[in-house]
Amino acid sequence: YDDRDGVIWMDGKLVDWRSANVHILTHGMHYASSVFEGERCYGGKIFESRKHSERLIFSGEQLDMPIPYTVDEIEAAKYEVLKANNLTDAYVRVLAWRGAGEDMGVASAKNPVRMAVAAWEWGAYYGDAKMKGAKLDISKWKRPSPETIPCFAKASGLYMICTMSKHAAEAKGCSDAMMFDYRGYVAEATGANMFFVKDGEVHTPKPDCFLNGITRQTVVGMLKDRQIKVHERHIMPEELEGFEQCWLTGTAAEVTPVGSIGDYNFEVGAIARDIAEGYEKLVRS
């Protein structure tokens, strides 16, 4: 991704794509003092753009690294990048991090908080097989307890186990991995939330130790509009056997039906299809 044409917004200026670099003593690289957002622009409009900017500011607060921009300034930066790169349908990545500076130890309060915004075309996150039902592995890593990490921040450090889980999944021919939480309940995939269907009703893990995704919240609203009952609750691993349909939600994943998790199989059923198609319409309306 580093060698291409285009411009990236960095600390208030548009810089050439290939020159959008940081110093090797960047605090964020050594100690994961870094938070980010992933967003999608559809037909020139970023879906739930302000919610993403608000979450970035919240994530920064959680890591004690106040983002030096307001929601309006972040909004302007995102649209400036899209316009400068001539993009109307794109993935938008906003990153904020502690830069290099006076501190090279764990404490970094004197180092500047920096921000960058990049955008590029990114199709279906799970490729062409999207509506056939993704194949998921079961990760050996657990979502940690809220007492051990700032679990509601979209913080780079929390993705270490996600990358490891996804690598293990891909090595087995799967597209992603489902993770349990520290208590053993079903939690989420490595970059997406999960929903299940049983007897016409929807069950989704209660987001009490992981991100309550913006797509997840949108889909809960869509289900309620359709008068489909949604149970947000703790889901035990042994319940997986009884679920008939499953799908993932996330900005990158959008709504992707799941065909299997380990040895458990699901059909790409009517509710999964309806929600996937409904979401596609909604983001462009």
- Residues in contact with ligand PMP by CB under 6 A are 38, 154, 188, 191-193, 210-211, 213-216, 249-251
Residue nearest to ligand PMP (CB): 213
Q: How far is the CB of 74 from ligand PMP (least distance, A)?
A: 15
Minimum CB distance to ligand PMP smaller for 9 or for 91: 91
Smallest gap, in angstroms, from Cβ of residue 190 to ligand PMP? 6
Q: Catalytic residue at 154? A: yes
Measured CA angle at 129 (ends 94, 179), to 5 deg: 60
Q: Which is nearer to ligand PMP, 192 or 235 (CB)?
A: 192
Least gap, CB of 14 to ligand PMP (angstroms): 25
Least distance CB 48 / ligand PMP (angstroms): 8
Instruction: From the candidates 130, 135, 154, 166, give the one annotated as an active-site residue.
Output: 154
User: For every residue of the chain, which 3-state class applies, written as one string?
Assistant: CCCCCCEEEECCEEEEHHHCCCCCCCHHHHHCCEEEEEEEEECCEECCHHHHHHHHHHHHHHCCCCCCCCHHHHHHHHHHHHHHCCCCCEEEEEEEEECCCCCCCCCCCCCCEEEEEEEECCCCCCHHHHHHCEEEEEEEEEECCCCCCCCCCCEHHHHHHHHHHHHHHHHCCCCEEEEEECCCCEEEECCCEEEEEECCEEEEECCCCCCCCHHHHHHHHHHHHCCCCEEEECCCHHHHHHCCEEEEEECCCEEEEEEEECCEECCCCHHHHHHHHHHHHHHCC
Nearer to ligand PMP, 115 or 189 (CB): 189
Nearer to ligand PMP, 9 or 195 (CB): 195
Q: Identify the bridge partners of residue 38 per DSSP, sorted by sequence position.
A: 93
Q: Which C-beta is closer to ligand PMP: that of 98 or that of 216? A: 216
Q: Which residue type occupies 264?
A: Y
Could you list the active site residues?
Answer: 154
